[in-house]
Amino acid sequence: MAYETLIVEIEDYTCLIRLNRPDALNALNAQLMTELAQAVTAADRNDKVRCIVITGNEKAFAAGADVKEMASKGFTEVFFDNLFGPEAEAISRARTPIIAAVSGYCLGGGCELAMICDFILAADSAKFGQPEINLGICAGMGGTQRLTRFVGKSKSMDMHLTGRFMDAAEAERAGLVSRVFPAKSLMEETLKVAAKIAEKSMITAMIVKEAVNRAQETTLAEGLLFERRMFHASFATEDQKEGMAAFLEKRQPQFRDR
Ligand code: HXC
């Protein structure tokens, strides 16, 4: 499918989705969010995709929702349109692992999009922020909820109330980002991480994704029970037999997603 605001390439079982509105620092307008939800949904259904990477360019992952598009809207319009709700939910429903590869500005809705992904790899140039307060609005695609779960109440309040940016080193220290790479090697390193995930059993990767996400969504007791049952269920797969046999035979496993 041809997209106007994205560049999508599938290679070696990785679907690389590049946000492509460079003149607006990849600001998220309605068209981009619609296309992104379509691209992620299509990749999630594609047997040739075992990992999805969402990225921007060197200057910006995304500098937030498109202020030019939003500025004149009123409450009734954004409420009836449920602005960005369905698109964000479609992306968060994907069962395929999604990595956000972030260089440069990752602000407002851009930071929220990165947090919808399963984990964030950042360039040392990355700058994260939730500056919506400067526009007289609050975050609207999960920022107050997800950032608080990533970095805790104190830093989340600081970010949302002051609108300041945090650099990649602070984001890594705070647990928002899993790893930081020099900007020039971010994509190469990200594609290596995606290839590593793509080697795994897809069933097991989906189980892991569901189980880790439970940690954010339920009580510890419920999450532990869910994880234990998924652990038990994984013994019903051929990939469990293959993974353990390969270990005992000192060879690489050949997973078949069964
Ligand atoms: C629309 C944007 C934009 C945005 C940048 N641009 N951010 N357009 N929406 N969010 C446009 C600028 O208008 C400009 O276009 C071009 O991109 C380059 O930006 P500059 O400001 O000239 O670049 P620079 O001086 O380097 O400053 C970079 C910046 C600044 C610090 C990132 O652009 C900025 O503060 N942007 C807004 C960040 C923000 O407030 N994000 C939150 C948005 S609200 P022209 O045409 O002038 O060249 C939000 C709510 C989410 O995200 C809730 C639900 C999704």
Question: How far away, in angstroms, is 147 Cα from ligand 1 center?
Answer: 20
Indicate which residue of 132, 139, 168, 198 is catalytic: 132
pLDDT > 90? residue 1: no
**Which tokens belong to 124?**
């040392």
Question: At CB < 8 A and 24+ separation, what contacts does 182-191 make?
Answer: 182/123, 182/124, 183/58, 183/103, 183/123, 183/124, 183/125, 186/101, 186/103, 186/121, 186/122, 186/123, 187/55, 187/101, 189/121, 190/53, 190/55, 190/99, 190/101, 190/121, 191/12, 191/14, 191/16, 191/53
The arithmetic mean of pLDDT across residues 27-35, rounded, is: 98
pLDDT digits (tens, 9 = 90+) for 103-156: 999 999 999 999 999 999 999 999 999 999 999 999 999 999 999 999 999 999
> pLDDT over 70 for what percent of the chain?
100
Distance of alpha carbon 90 from its chain centroid, rounded? 12
For ligand 1, residues with CB inside 6 Å are 24-25, 27, 63-68, 84, 105, 107-109, 112, 131-132, 135, 139-141
The arithmetic mean of pLDDT across residues 34-62, rounded, is: 98
pLDDT digits (tens, 9 = 90+) for 189-200: 999 999 999 999
Nearest residue by C-alpha to atom 33 in ligand 1: 63
Question: How far away, in angstroms, is 183 Cα from ligand 1 center?
Answer: 21
pLDDT > 90? residue 44: yes
Question: How far away, in angstroms, is 48 Cα from ligand 1 center?
Answer: 35
Q: Which of 5, 21, 25, 103 most suits a substitution to test ligand 1, by most atoms within 8 Å of the C-beta? A: 25
The closest of 104, 105, 99 to 117, measured between CA atoms, is: 99
Question: How far away, in angstroms, is 23 Cα from ligand 1 center?
Answer: 10
The atom number, within ligand 1, closest to the CA of 108 reads: 52
